[in-house]
A = this chain, B = another copy of it.
């Protein structure tokens, strides 16, 4: 997390492989790249130190857990200074999985998952629009997510 580090081609192929499968054995990566498992280990540790690799996460399919509805809600605030207060309230809602502070059409832009449309309706009206610093909201319902990937190192 401290030092800067400029990655080379070996690092890139390691990263790309681990983005797809964080459990790829070091021996496998070593063989693919013609180096030893020890070298793979060293490179990964360096990229962790440099903050390039932030974590390894198991990815869960929200639909399989009953979260059938995915949407974005754009939020406009009454005053720009209300931002921290509103953020704190959004943070307390587990359905809000992402929030962005944006320029353009909205002040805050959020990604939301709910079990169904009724739950979304309830969340919107009773948890979000009821936040006093919020002036207006706009909802974009996602019907499908055809692209979801990480950036190519």
Contact = CB atoms under 8 A, between A and B. Distances in A.
Given A18-B57, A55-B20, A72-B109, A148 B98 contact: yes
Interface residues of A, number: 61
Interface in A85-138: 87, 90-91, 94-106, 109-110, 113, 138
Q: How many copies does the complex hold?
A: 2
B65 A60 contact: no
Contacts of A147: 87, 90-91, 96-99, 110
A119 to B, nearest CB: 12
A9 interface: no
A57 B56 CA distance: 6
Interface string A2-28: 000001000000010011111100000
B141 A103 contact: yes
A3 to B, nearest CB: 11
Contact of A59 (B56, B62, B102): B56
B65 A59 contact: no
B65 A7 contact: yes
A151 B62 contact: yes
Interface of A: 7, 15, 18-23, 50-62, 64-65, 67, 70, 72, 87, 90-91, 94-106, 109-110, 113, 138-153
